[in-house]
Amino acid sequence: MIPSSNWDLSFLYRDFDDPKLESDIETIAKLAAEGAALCEGAKDDLVKLESIVKTAEELTDLIMNTHGYVQLRLSTDCTNETGLQYMDRLSNLMVEVQLCQSAWIRYIGQLKGLEDLIAASETLKSNAFIVREYQQEAKHMLAPDMEKWMLRMSLDGGSAFSKLRDRLMGSHTVELNGKDLPLPAVRGMAYDPDPKVRKEAYEAELKSYQKVENSMAFCIACIKGEAQTMCEAKGYSDVLTQQLSDSRMDRETLDAMLTAIREALPDFRRYLKAKAKLLGHENGLPFYDLFAPVGSVSKRYTVEEARALLVDTFAKVHPAIGSFIDQAFENRWIDMYPAEGKEGGAFCEGFHAHGQSRVLTNFVGSFSDVSTLAHELGHAWHDRCLSTVPTLMADPPMPLAETASIFNETMLNNTVRKTADPATRFVLLENSLMEATQTVVDIYSRFLFESAVIEARKTHIPSAAELNAMMLDAQEQSYGDGLDREVRHPSMWVNKCHYYFSGLNFYNFPYAFGLLFGLGVYAKFQKEGSAFIPQYDALLARCGSDTIANVAASVGIDVRSAAYWRSALDIVRGEIEEFLTLCDQQ
C-alpha cells in the first residue's frame, strides 16, 4: 500500500508561514552582507580561511533548504503567489551572495602558501579541493569595481531575455484543428500511435513558431551576446572553454567524446532508416516520426507494481539501493501523479543538510514512467552517497550528475528486457534506442548549432531565418540521411529551453557525457559483479570533490581517450544490431 501520493516536505518547513523559513532567509541576507568582512582585518589567514569555509557551508545549506523548499512548493502549485514572492526575494538575494563569494575568491587568489594553510587545518583539509578551485577561479574574476554593476545589468540583459523567453513560451499556443492548444500538449502528440496525429501536430507546431520567432531570435542572440561579453571580461578565450572549466572538464575529454560520437553517427542512421522502413517511409525518418511508437505492447503498471519491480530489481544486485527505494515509497519522498498546476516531466532535489531528497514525477503507468522513477531515484541514491562528504563538495558538475540515474535506468531496462517476451523486448529495445538517439545524435546537433550561434553573434544579431538555416545545417551534420531531408525541424532552437539559460552555455554535451559515462560504469558492474558495488558508491560520493578526469580514473575509466567513448558507444551499437535483426523478423 502506498501511504499517500503527495510528498512530505515537513522535514524542511511546516508551510510558507513557518517562522523558520523567514528567519533562514534573514540569516542568508545577514551572512551575505557581512561575508566580505571575513577577509579583512588583522587576523591571521588560517582563521580567516576557516571562517570563510564554514560560512560558505552554512550559506549553501540555507540556500538549498529555502530555495529548494520554495521551488518544490511551486513545482506542484505554479501560480502560488506567496511562493512566487519568496522566489523573487531569493533571486535578488543571490546577487548579494555572489558578490560575497567573489570577495572570498579574490582573497584566496592572492594568498601565498595555500598548501601550508590547508595542511594545518582539519576543516581546510576536508574541503581542500574546493579551496584550491577557488584559488584557480580567482584568475577569472570580473574587476571588483565593475562586478556589482555587471551583475545588476545582467538582470536587465541576459536574465531579462531569459525571463522573456519563459513568458513567450509559457503562454505559446498552437492552432490545431481549430483549437488553440498549449505547446507541450501538441509536442506530446509525437508519441501518438496514429501517424496522422503525429504529422498534423508537427506541421501545426512549426507554423505556430512564426508568431514568436523574431522575438525568440532576439532572446537567444542577446543571451549568447552577454555570454561572449562575460567570457571576455573574465579573461577566457571563448565561451566553450569557460563552460568546460565550470564543468571541471578538459578540452581533451570533450574532443575524445565528440570523435567517438562522430564515428558512431552512421550506426545511429542505420537505426533511423530501419525505423523509417518499419513505418513505411522510403527516404529516411521524417522528423515527426522520431518518437513514433513501434510494436503493440502496452503493459501498464500500478504504483504498487512499479514499487515491487524496482525494489526487486535492485535488491538482487545492490541491496542497499533496493531498501532505499522501498523507503522512498514508504516515507513519501515522491510526488507521484499529474495534477493541475503541477509541472510536467520529472526531477530530483537533494537536501544535503538533511541527508534527504525529494522526487517529482508524473506517473500514469507506462513502462517509461517506471524507468523515470528508476532514473530519479538514482539521483536520490547519488545524493545519499554524497551526504558523506562536506556540503561544498556535494555538488557534482553537470556531466557527472547523471551517473547514478543512467546506471539505474540501464539496470532496470536490461533486467526487464532479459525476461521479456520477444514482442516486448522489441518495444523496449526501440525505446532505449530512441532515447539514446536523442542523447547522442540530437545533442550533437545542438552542440553544433550553439557553436554556430555564438560565432555569428560576434558580428551581428542573427535573424530567425539565419537561425533556421543553422539548425538545418546542424541536423544534416548529425542525423544525415537518417532523417528525411524534406521533413526536418528548423525551429528546434525555439523549442528547447536549454539555449536560453543566462550564465549557462552549451547545456548539451553534459547529457551525452552523462549517458555514455553511466553506460561505461554499468559495463564495469556487469564485468565485476557485486565486487564493484563498494567502488561504485565511492565513485558517487567523489563526484563533487575532483576534476571529471580524476573522478573517472578512480574506477579505471580514461575519459581523455576516444577508445573509452567507443567502448561505451559499442553498448548502443550492440542494441542497434539486435534491433536490426528483430526488424528483419517483423
Are 545 and 400 spatial neighbours (Cβ–Cβ below 8 Å)?
A: no
CA distance 428 to 506: 30
CA distance 523 to 525: 5
SS3 at position 490: coil
* Local structure of residue 356 (DSSP, 8 states): E
Residues forming contacts to Zn ion in the complex (CB under 5 A) are 405
Smaller CB distance to Zn ion: residue 133 or 369? 369
Helix crossing, 144-155 with 213-233: angle to 10°?
A: 170
Quick one: which of 56, 136, 151 has its CA closest to 99?
151
Shortest distance (Å) from residue 404 CB to Zn ion: 9
Element (H, E) at 219: helix 213-233
| Torsion sign over Cα 134, 136, 139, 141 | negative
Quote helix, strand, coil % in the chain, to nearest 5.
70, 5, 25
Shortest distance (Å) from residue 371 CB to Zn ion: 12
Quick one: which of 474, 471, 472 has its CA closest to 485?
472
Smaller CB distance to Zn ion: residue 313 or 405? 405
CA distance 124 to 138: 18
Shortest distance (Å) from residue 360 CB to Zn ion: 12
Shortest distance (Å) from residue 198 CB to Zn ion: 26
CA distance 351 to 373: 19
Element (H, E) at 583: helix 562-585
Smaller CB distance to Zn ion: residue 57 or 376? 376
Amino acid at 171: S
Per-residue exposure over 375-391, b if at least 16 CB sit within 10 Å of its own CB, e if not:
bbbbbbbbbbbbbebbb
CA distance 366 to 368: 5
Smaller CB distance to Zn ion: residue 28 or 548? 548
Smaller CB distance to Zn ion: residue 101 or 405? 405
Smaller CB distance to Zn ion: residue 55 or 405? 405
Smaller CB distance to Zn ion: residue 67 or 375? 375
Strand-pair partners of 347: 360
Shortest distance (Å) from residue 576 CB to Zn ion: 23
Shortest distance (Å) from residue 376 CB to Zn ion: 7
Measured CA to CA in angstroms, residue 571 lies from 144, 155, 414, 576 at distances of: 49, 44, 12, 9
Cell of 220: 537567444
CA distance 180 to 177: 8
Smaller CB distance to Zn ion: residue 186 or 386? 386
Shortest distance (Å) from residue 250 CB to Zn ion: 23
Smaller CB distance to Zn ion: residue 127 or 405? 405
Shortest distance (Å) from residue 403 CB to Zn ion: 10
Amino acid at 357: S
Shortest distance (Å) from residue 439 CB to Zn ion: 11
Smaller CB distance to Zn ion: residue 405 or 508? 405
With 0-12 / 13-18 / 19 or more C-beta atoms within 10 angstroms meaning exposed / middle / buried, residue 211 is middle
Shortest distance (Å) from residue 238 CB to Zn ion: 28
Backbone angles phi, psi at 179, to 5 degrees: -120, 145
Smaller CB distance to Zn ion: residue 208 or 372? 372
Shortest distance (Å) from residue 444 CB to Zn ion: 19
Whose CB is nearest to Zn ion? 405
- DSSP per residue over 327-379, as a string? HHHHTT-EE-S--TT--SS-EEEEEGGGTEEEEE----S-HHHHHHHHHHHHH
Shortest distance (Å) from residue 259 CB to Zn ion: 25
Beta strands, E only, 88-191: 173-176, 179-182
Smaller CB distance to Zn ion: residue 313 or 371? 371
Shortest distance (Å) from residue 402 CB to Zn ion: 5
CA distance 72 to 65: 10
Smaller CB distance to Zn ion: residue 75 or 127? 75
Element (H, E) at 347: strand 347-351
Neighbouring CB atoms inside 10 A of 111's CB total: 17
With 0-12 / 13-18 / 19 or more C-beta atoms within 10 angstroms meaning exposed / middle / buried, residue 218 is middle
Are 129 and 545 spatial neighbours (Cβ–Cβ below 8 Å)?
A: yes
Shortest distance (Å) from residue 406 CB to Zn ion: 8
Smaller CB distance to Zn ion: residue 284 or 518? 518
